[in-house]
Structures are given as C-alpha cells and as structure tokens.
Structure 1
Amino acid sequence: MNIYRTRAGLRHQFRDVLNFYYPDCLDTAVGGYVAQLDERDGHVYDTQTRHLVATARGVHNFSLGVLADGPHWCRYAAEHGLQFLSSAHWDDDRQGYDWLLEGRTPTDRTRYCYGHAFVLLAAARALQAGIPGARGELERADRVLEDRFWDSEYELYADQASSEWDLAAYRGQNANMHVCEALLAASEATGEPRFLERAYTVANRFTRDVTQATDGLLWEHYTADWEPDLSYNEDSPRHQFRPPGYQPGHHAEWAKLLALLADHRSEPWLLERARELFDAAVDLGWDDEYGGLYYTVDADGEPIVADKYGWVHTEAIGASALLSRTDDDYLEWYDRLWEHARDHLINPRYGNWYERLTRTHERDGPNHGPAVEPGYHPLTNCWLAMRVLEEAPAAFDSGRC
C-alpha cells in the first residue's frame, strides 16, 4: 500500500519539509527568512540574500502549517516572514515589491508579475491562517497586480516592468499560471467572487484560447500580443527561469488549477481540459527508460533537458490526487509518482526534496543560488492530497490499490 494514501503518511512528509527549514530559516537580526539551505544537509550557504519569491513562499508554507494543524511554531514563523515581506520588500515610493535584497537593501527592483503573484498567494494563505496584517497585504498585492500588470485587451497579465513601471514586451505563461493560483487562494480566503471570476478568465484564456496556436500544448513564451515566440531562448536550453520547449510540470500544474476551479464552477470543460493537460504531461514527459518526468520536451516528447526536477513531480502528484476524485486511473499515476519521489527525489535523511537530478537520478551539483525553492511545491501538494483524503476519502481507499 502507498503510505501517501494515508493521513499519517502525508502528514509525516508535510512535517518533514517544515522541519527541514525551521528554525534555521528564521533570521531575527536582519529579519525575514534565510532560504538558502543546502538541500543535502541543511547548512546555510548564504545568510544575506532575500528573494521576493522565497520570502513569499516561506510565509505561504508556514501559513499552510497553521492551517494543517502543524507544529505550534508555524504561526510565529508566518508572522515573522509577513512582517519582513510587508516592510523590507515593499517599495513605498514606487508602489511595488522589490525582487532581490541584500539584507534589507534592494539590489534588484525589477517588478515581476510572478513575484507579485506569490505575495498575493502568501497573503491569502496567511489570512486564512489568521496572521495579523494579512488582509492589508492581500489588498495591496491585488491592487498592484490589477493596476500595473492586468491587460484588459487580452485578459491576461503582463510579465515584468522596470522599477519605474515601464512594461517589457515579453509575455509569459508562468506568471499567469501563478496569478491564477493566487486568485483561487484569495477567493478561498476572502469569499469575494471577483477573485474566482478573474481566475476563471485567466484559465479560460490561456488554456483554451492561447493554446490553439500550439495544438493545445502550453508554450511558455509570447510576444506582447500573445503570439507564441517559438524561438525564444532556443540557444539557452538550460535557462534557469525561461527555458525553451514545453514543460510537462506546467501542464500538470495547470491541470491541478483547473481541477480546483472545477470545485467552484460547473462548466464541463474544466475537468475535461484538466485531464487533457495531465495526460499530455505524462505522455510527453515520462521517461520510460529511467522513470520520472523530463524538465522540457519538444512537441513530440523528445527531451530538450532530460533532468528530473522535484517540483515537477510534486505538481503531478497534486494534480493526480485531485483528478482521482472522479477517475480511478489517476490513482495509478499518484502511486507511481510517489514511488519515484521516494526512490530518488526525497532526501532520505531529512525528508526535503532535491531541486534537480540528472536523467539517471544523480545529483550533478549543490543546486545553490538566490532563487531557491524553500519547500513550497511539496508542501502545497501534500496539503492538497490531505484535503482530498479528508473531503473524499473513498478516492484513496486502500482497497483500490
């Protein structure tokens, strides 16, 4: 039996990830989180860098810890991070969130929609958890996204701007996906219908309309008028944030979001498209020889970057858990993904997830850098699986293993 079909197994994994980061991630001198912990043994390799996304994800993670009745220190840790997010990262003169800090000093004030989306997500989860100041932060992040990034002509979000709010021409899938995620969380936290309506609009526009140009697959990079830029970064296949190709992980992630939207909307296309996108993720991305999902592929499923990323597999786990509520076939993928993660991607000593492995599941480096992944993906998808187990326990019935 897959232990991750049980509450105990999921909670154990959830707490392992939280415990890996706490208390070493808290900085009581500078403030905020030290997110740069070595994934092998947890030692801190950078005490000063503060990345907007890492800060926001930390607030989100510890807020989920509160919501999931996790360790008692989750509330303090969430409060600690939210205070830093709302003060050090916020640029009151230019009304936006700074991307990168050294201590409390801004070193990169580029305005990324992606980063602002994570602030909205963090504030929404913090509001659900009852963290002081969360509502004000949610309203502020929502206002910036609406006033600065929303493009009413295309009904999608722009991607980035200078510190003075000059918009770049580039448009991207990833920012819109994470705004959709944040809007869903804001809807849950506030009960305001407008958040759900906007999430639906973005999902409909991107996963149905925009993808018509690429035969239903999710391309990552676009021009200012939302035409696929198929040559974008074609000479940089390992670009950290904007690689070329199709990403199986993002197909699974959108499948997850559509399945969540289907909990609130009755349109049949939501679950139909969610299944299509998940099926595309595993059909194109699964490595039949070594197991696991590739990072990027071409339209025929040939790998461009064959590395195996932890976040890709956690998103597929969350999507398969949600889809299993209406189709037993997705339980097979849920079990297979957890098996692969247990064998290769989860640190056997601490329970945190490795960021990246080679195709044959070897670690090719320390995976250090300012833009780290502080447990947001495994925590989010463990939490979703726990919700499925609690709300629809028959979906994980061990008799169907």
Structure 2
Amino acid sequence: MAPTDTPSLLSDTARVAAMKGNALAQLDFFRASLREDGGFDTLEVDGSPVPGQPQDLMTTARLIHSYAIAHIAGAPDCLRIVDAGMAALATDWPAGHRDAEHGGYLPIPRDGAPAPSTDKQAYGHVFVLLAAASAKSVGHPDADRLLAEAAAVIEARFWDEETGRLQDEFRRDWQVFSDYRGMNANMHGVEAFLAAYEATGDAVWLTRAGRILDFFTGRVAPEHDWRLPEHYRTDWSVDAGYEGNPMFRPAGTTPGHSLELGRLLLQYWDLTGRADAALPERARKLIETAAEGAWREAGGFAYTLDFDGTPLVTDRYWWPVTEGIGAFAALAKQGGQASDLDWYARLWQVSDALFIDAARGGWFPEVDEAGQPVARMFTGKPDIYHALQACLFPLAPGLSGYYRDLKGVLA
C-alpha cells in the first residue's frame, strides 16, 4: 500500500545514523554464528561459540530472515548466512533440520551434547515459513521448494481450519500429547503468514492471518481489558492458571507480545487496503495498554503481568523494548499522536543506556535491577532478529511491503 510516513519519525538524523550503524554492527557480530561446517553456533556475549548448544530451528530460520532483509537493505556479505541456513533446512536430520522420516523439522544436536527434544511445535515451523518467504525475496534458488514444503507441513499438521488458528505441539511422529493452545505461536504465525503473502501474493496467507488476528484482537483482547492472555485449552478457553517454560510460556500476560501483535495488526490493515477503520484503534489499545502497564521506573518493561496488571516477572529483557520501538514507529507512520514519537524516543534512550553493546555489537538480552547485564534466562546473545528489525523497520516508509521498501535503507 502507499506509504504514509510521518516525517518526524526520521527527522532526527543522528538517531537514524545510529540505527543504521547499530544494524551493521549487529550483522558483523552475528556473522561469527557461521561454523566451519556450515551450521550455526549460539554466541556468548563476547562472540565466542557456546559449547554444546543445539542449533535450534528458530535460530536458523531467524538468521535466514534477518540476513535476507539486511541484504535487501544494502548491507554487505549477507547471503553466506542465508545460504548456510537454507542448506541446514534442506539437509536431513541429524546433520540438518529436515525430518525425512516423519516430515517437518527438528533441532540439530551439536558437539556431543545430549540430543534436544524432538517434539514439533508450530512456533518453530512458522519461522521456517518466514525464512522461506524472506529467502524468496532475495531470489534464493531453494526458496520456492522450502515455501512449498513448509506450507504443506503447516497445512497438514498445525493449521486448524475449523477454528482458524494454529495447534501448538506434537511428538516427532505427530502423535498428539498435549491439549495446550497458545497465543505466541499464533502471533508468529501471523508474522509468517503476512510475509508469505507479501512474497507470493497467495491470498490464503492473508486470510489466515486475519482469522488469527480477529480472534485475539477482536474477541479476546476486549474481554480482558486489552491485556492478552497467553495460554488456552483445546476449546480455546483461557487457561489462567497455566505456567510452562519460563521464557516461552510464562504465567500471566506478556506485554511484549501485545506490542508485537499491535504492529502486525497494522501491517495486516495496510495489506487489506485499510478497509476496516476499527483496526488502527484496536492496535493502539493493545500497544498503549502493554507499554503503560509494563513500564518500569528504571527503564524498560516488566516481562510479565498478572491479569489485573500487577507485575509478575519484573526482569527487563531486550526484546520487548525492540518490539515497542517497532510498534510505536508503526503508530506514528499511520498518522499517530505526539505520544507515539515520545515513546519511540524513550525506548531508544533505554536501548542506548541498558541493552546495546556498543563495544562488540549485538544487544545484551537482560539486565538486573541496577541495569547491568546478567545471564539469568538467556545464554550469551540469543539472536539478531528482534533488535535488527527495530533498527530497520522504522526506516521503511510504510506499514507493510518490507521486502520492497527496505531496499537500500542502509546504503
């Protein structure tokens, strides 16, 4: 759609220059992920490999996506990472991710460490679709094959046409073992589906993204004061007492996901011709409720809140701040309010003060009460994906069309 850029978003030339420099520094840092054997390592804070860490499916897919959009933006030496990631997804497990026996994809064990779980989750598989869409946008020769393969797995195993949402998890052989349903995988499903639509023009992806968004932002959010529950049962009733993996399935609500989903709602609104005038206000309620409720006086966001807005996990992580940057940039682009630019500037100030590793590149993933980097939840610097998008997406003129509009923004 035609961009409606707010000039004020890019009027701070020093900030724009800092964003471009930070994006390039991140890309330099994470190039060290590439192993001599063509796989990827997780990196310590100093850029050295984390020994024995599996090559997660999410990590491979996010690296493909990140370096593909960076290539579009004009960054040098990006396609080696894209090529290595695509090869890992095409290679049969355990040397690569592809499960030739049962279909779908698995994490790759590394360096003699115990094999990681072989359960298959929608979360990782939708990132494969995102990677394939981004690889297609840079003309990778295997992108169409991966798109077709990932789409077939999602269609056959994870997509529930009756509800219009994704089922979460299965055993390696696709046996059902869980009645869990979650917002997180569905939110990233929206992200991947919108990317697949932009890369292919296939309207099925746009339709499916809209069905997911309608449920979470049109039905659930208004019923819960715009604080989105994360966890659900098979019948999609809210499971308020659920608590699982402390990173991916913590108890309560996760404000960072509302920030992310609000931005995706605006992307969907743009791609659908801006036909539904209610969607921007819906996105604003999600974004503002999350930001105002989770903000910490010392800067940054509490990771989780209870359903009444009481902070549960007050630790501050980098990724909700990066998603806040993208969310308020999107609000500003579509007309916005002065407060959107205020939030945008505030979040960059917090990033500079707490999270950006100016000396080595990349962002520290978490800080303690004194604002010092710690390693309570994360090992090293987990990935480039969130922080790179925070630098690049505000530089694109529109709310959608990133594969087109990011062209040359780092030049």
- Deviations along 1:326-356, one digit per CA (max 9) or x if unpaired, are 1132111110000010011111212311111
Q: Partner of 2:89 in structure 1?
A: 85
**What is the rounded CA distance, in whole Å, between the counterparts of 1:353 and 1:369 in structure 2?**
13
1:142 correspondence with 2:151:
yes
- How many angstroms does 1:48 deviate by? 5.4
Contact 1:321 1:388 in 2 (8 A): no
Q: Which amino acid aligns with 1:127?
A: K
**What is the rounded CA distance, in whole Å, between the counterparts of 1:298 and 1:48 in structure 2?**
32
Moved over 6 A (4+): 389-392
**What is the rounded CA distance, in whole Å, between the counterparts of 2:226 and 2:377 in structure 1?**
33
- How many angstroms does 1:145 deviate by? 0.8
1:38 correspondence with 2:44:
yes
Match of 1:112 among 116, 121, 144: 121
**What is the rounded CA distance, in whole Å, between the counterparts of 1:106 and 1:364 in structure 2?**
27
Aligned residues: 381
Q: Which amino acid aligns with 1:382?
A: C
Q: Partner of 2:305 in structure 1?
A: 297
Q: CA RMSD in A?
A: 2.3
Contact 2:323 2:390 in 1 (8 A): yes
- How many angstroms does 1:291 deviate by? 1.8
Q: Partner of 1:220 in structure 2?
A: 230
Contact 2:270 2:399 in 1 (8 A): no
Question: Which stretch shows the higher mean deviation, 305-314 or 292-301?
Answer: 292-301
- How many angstroms does 1:176 deviate by? 0.0
Contact 1:245 1:304 in 2 (8 A): yes
Q: Partner of 1:156 in structure 2?
A: 165
- How many angstroms does 1:381 deviate by? 2.5
Q: Which amino acid aligns with 2:207?
A: E
**What is the rounded CA distance, in whole Å, between the counterparts of 2:350 and 2:53 in structure 1?**
35
Q: How does 1:61-100 map to 2 (within 5 A)?
A: 61-71=66-76, 73-87=77-91, 88-100=96-108
Gaps (5+ residues) in structure 2? 1-10, 402-411
- How many angstroms does 1:143 deviate by? 1.1
- How many angstroms does 1:197 deviate by? 1.4
**What is the rounded CA distance, in whole Å, between the counterparts of 1:96 and 1:298 in structure 2?**
35
Percentage of pairs with the same residue:
35
Match of 2:322 among 314, 318, 326: 314
SS in 2 for 1:295: strand
- How many angstroms does 1:133 deviate by? 0.3
**What is the rounded CA distance, in whole Å, between the counterparts of 2:159 and 2:97 in structure 1?**
21
**What is the rounded CA distance, in whole Å, between the counterparts of 2:300 and 2:218 in structure 1?**
27
- Deviations along 1:302-343, one digit per CA (max 9) or x if unpaired, are 211111110000001011111101113211111000001001
TM-score using structure 2 length: 0.87
Question: Which stretch shows the higher mean deviation, 91-100 or 122-131?
Answer: 91-100
Contact 1:10 1:385 in 2 (8 A): no
- How many angstroms does 1:5 deviate by? 4.7
Structure with higher RCO (Cα < 8 A, 6+ apart): 2
Q: Which amino acid aligns with 1:380?
A: Q
**What is the rounded CA distance, in whole Å, between the counterparts of 1:47 and 1:74 in structure 2?**
26
Closer/same/farther in 2, CA of residues 4 and 315 from structure 1, 3 Å limit:
farther
Q: Which amino acid aligns with 1:245?
A: G
Q: Partner of 2:56 in structure 1?
A: 51
Q: Partner of 1:246 in structure 2?
A: 253
Gaps (5+ residues) in structure 1? 393-401
- Deviations along 1:201-252, one digit per CA (max 9) or x if unpaired, are 111122212335433321111111111111112xx7x812211011110110
Contact 2:267 2:399 in 1 (8 A): no
Closer/same/farther in 2, CA of residues 10 and 388 from structure 1, 3 Å limit:
farther
SS in 1 for 2:55: strand
Q: Which amino acid aligns with 1:38?
A: E
Closer/same/farther in 2, CA of residues 356 and 2 from structure 1, 3 Å limit:
farther
**What is the rounded CA distance, in whole Å, between the counterparts of 1:83 and 1:323 in structure 2?**
37
SS in 2 for 1:97: coil
- How many angstroms does 1:364 deviate by? 2.9
- How many angstroms does 1:391 deviate by? 9.7
1:125 correspondence with 2:129:
no
Match of 1:18 among 27, 32, 36: 27
- Deviations along 1:107-130, one digit per CA (max 9) or x if unpaired, are 422111000011011111111011
Closer/same/farther in 2, CA of residues 123 and 18 from structure 1, 3 Å limit:
same
